[in-house]
Amino acid sequence: MDKKHANKSSRRIHRPATRRLVQLYAALLHNAYLRGFLSGEIYQGNAKYACVPGFNCYSCPGAVGACPLGALQNALAATGHRAGWYVLGILMLFGVTLGRTVCGWLCPLGLIQEGLHKIPTLKIKKSRFTRALSWLKYAFLAVFAVAVPLWYGLKYDLPLPAFCKYICPAGTFEGAVGHLANPANASMFSMLGLLFTRKWVILLIIVLACVFCYRGFCRFVCPLGAIYGLFNRFCLVGVSVDAGRCNGCGACVRHCGMDVRRVGDRECIQCGDCMAVCAQGAISVKAGKIVLKGPEGRPEARTREKRRGRALWGIALAVLCFALLWFNFLDPSIPRSSQAGHSWESTAAVGNRVGEQLPDFTLTCYDGSVFRLAETRGKITFINLWSTWCTPCKKELPYFSDLYLAHPDDIAMVIVHPSMVLDSPEDYLSDKGYAMPFATDTEDAVWSAVGGSATLPQTVVLNRNGEVVYNAVGSVTPELLAALYAEADGSAPK
């Protein structure tokens, strides 16, 4: 072999496989908000209401969409008030079109697991025991992703995304660690407690499992993979076996790192790696009747596949360039404070008196959104404590709604009910049409942060640096709210 052909052969051997390139591409597209990694803020544009196909934490600094599993849990928690048709519909759409092709090609967490498994150690081979353990993910799906959120929503009328809150390694790694690694979020360390410690231990266990066992989380824990696996037999895109070519040697199953019994069953992630070991050339990846990736040794089809591949990659790169440009610079739905580039740091002491900065807290709102005080920097923040049994509280809610609508891009607002619930706040609010988010302080974190008491209503106003400019018990008027907005706007250095 001459030198030219030897160099060409060497490049072919060492270049990344097509699936690896697609995985990297999908991970970048899932987390296209690169500014979030620099600023420590999450993307807050309108695209966040849409679900991405793969397992990717909503709270990751770069995430541009919602995780379908988190959206499912929030939808189930709201079952008593509204049906989660959107979430069920999007899961069925991903399932029918892609099935576990999402796991093998598009899931960022799948890419991380495969990277961990490449660490040189002794490996645990699949067996009857691991195949039996693969049913565990259906238990996680039934209990933590379905039963607990549904029960908690129906009984207490509050959202509890149990899998996200107590187990999810993506939430710990992408969300918590992703934010804590940024110096701009140093104040978040004060929020860490026993729950984070438990989730950190769970993350370490899953990481070790993935080092020793191929895709340990995907095989034994992931509820999203369990859902997509139900669609594997009839999904549009996936691995296909030519029955006329297959001689039943079983090399594909023996080579596969997943707990498959046959190509394309519920455990198959449709990765197509089995094509390389099929001596009969019977396996290919198809979209319907269109061959996306076929076995070697078919020269009559390779030319068409290469031409189609170049066209698809061209379209994909154009989409990625547009997404990066849109989410980082052009999206008009991103609040101005996220685009301004200010750090809005404060050197004030932590406390709840005027001139101090409140300790950070996080709330899950009734609409499924998450309010994090640390992410409101650059905006004027209003926190109102109210209750359904407080007549003055209910009377002033329209004033807050009008103010919120008057400054939709410049105000962060949350209306907080105490943990003691006599009448359902959501039932009371269902026909009011208020614009701002509402939440219940189930762990009394907000009451503690603002120095709340049993006397209501109470209003707290923070300037753009997160410093308290007003914290008082008593009713407010539209005029007072307008004056407080102006005061907060002028009290933070630009």
Q: Give me 186's structure tokens.
A: 């140093």
pLDDT of residue 342: 56
The residue type at 317 = L
pLDDT of residue 10: 44
pLDDT tens digits, the chain, 494 residues: what are they? Answer: 455 544 544 444 445 688 999 999 999 999 999 998 988 778 878 898 899 999 999 889 999 999 999 889 888 877 766 677 889 999 999 999 999 999 999 999 999 999 999 999 999 999 999 999 999 999 999 999 999 999 988 887 666 789 998 999 998 999 888 878 888 777 567 657 788 899 999 999 999 999 999 999 999 999 999 999 999 999 999 999 999 999 999 999 999 999 999 999 999 999 999 998 999 989 999 998 888 887 765 555 667 777 877 888 999 999 999 999 999 999 887 755 444 445 677 888 999 999 999 999 999 999 888 999 988 988 999 999 999 988 889 999 999 999 998 888 889 999 999 988 767 899 889 888 898 999 999 888 999 999 988 889 999 999 999 999 999 999 999 989 999 998 888 754 44
The DSSP code sequence of 386-415 is --TT-HHHHHHHHHHHHHHHHSTTTEEEEE
57 torsion bin: left (phi>0), alpha (psi -120 to 50), beta (else): beta
CA atoms within 13 A on the CB side of 442: 13
Helix (H, G, I), strand (E, B) or coil at 292: strand
The contacts found for 291-296 with CB under 8 angstroms, 24 or more apart, are 292/237, 293/18
CA atoms within 13 A on the CB side of 9: 6
Torsion sign (Cα): 60, 66, 68, 73: positive
How far apart CA 191 and CA 183 sit, in angstroms, is 15
Indicate the DSSP class of residue 175: I
Do residues 374 and 479 lie in contact, with contact meaning Cβ atoms separated by under 8 Å?
no
Could you tell me which of 218, 224, 209, 90 has the C-alpha nearest to residue 163?
Answer: 224
- Give rounded-to-5 percent helix, strand, coil for the chain: 50, 10, 40
Do residues 216 and 231 lie in contact, with contact meaning Cβ atoms separated by under 8 Å?
no
The residue type at 65 = G
Do residues 489 and 380 lie in contact, with contact meaning Cβ atoms separated by under 8 Å?
yes
pLDDT of residue 75: 86
- Rounded to the nearest 5°, which phi and psi values hold at 417? -95, 145
Q: How is domain 362-491 classified at the CATH fold level?
A: Glutaredoxin (3.40.30)
pLDDT of residue 8: 46
List, in sequence order, every residue forming a beta bridge with 471; answer none if it has no partner: 460
How far apart CA 442 and CA 31 sit, in angstroms, is 31
Domain ranges of the chain: 16-324, 362-491
List, in sequence order, every residue forming a beta bridge with 247; answer none if it has no partner: none
pLDDT of residue 48: 86
Do residues 86 and 127 lie in contact, with contact meaning Cβ atoms separated by under 8 Å?
no
How far apart CA 219 and CA 222 sit, in angstroms, is 7
> ω before 418 within 30° of 0 (cis)?
no
pTM for the whole thing? 0.70
Torsion sign (Cα): 216, 222, 225, 229: positive
The neighbour count for residue 212, using CB atoms within 10 Å, is 14
Give the burial class of 465: count Cβ atoms within 10 A of its Cβ; 0-12 exposed, 13-18 middle, 19 or more buried.
Answer: buried
Helix (H, G, I), strand (E, B) or coil at 188: helix
The residue count of the chain comes to 494
Q: Give me 194's structure tokens.
A: 């026993």
pLDDT of residue 128: 94
Q: Give me 295's structure tokens.
A: 């076995």
Do residues 118 and 257 lie in contact, with contact meaning Cβ atoms separated by under 8 Å?
no
pLDDT of residue 14: 47
Residues 6+ apart with CB under 8 A from 52: 30, 63, 64, 65, 66, 67, 68
List, in sequence order, every residue forming a beta bridge with 439; answer none if it has no partner: 416
Could you tell me which of 151, 167, 170 has the C-alpha nearest to residue 67?
Answer: 170
Indicate the DSSP class of residue 124: P
Could you tell me which of 451, 374, 369, 452 has the C-alpha nearest to residue 417?
Answer: 452
Task: Give me the residue label for tokens 């030897």.
Answer: 6
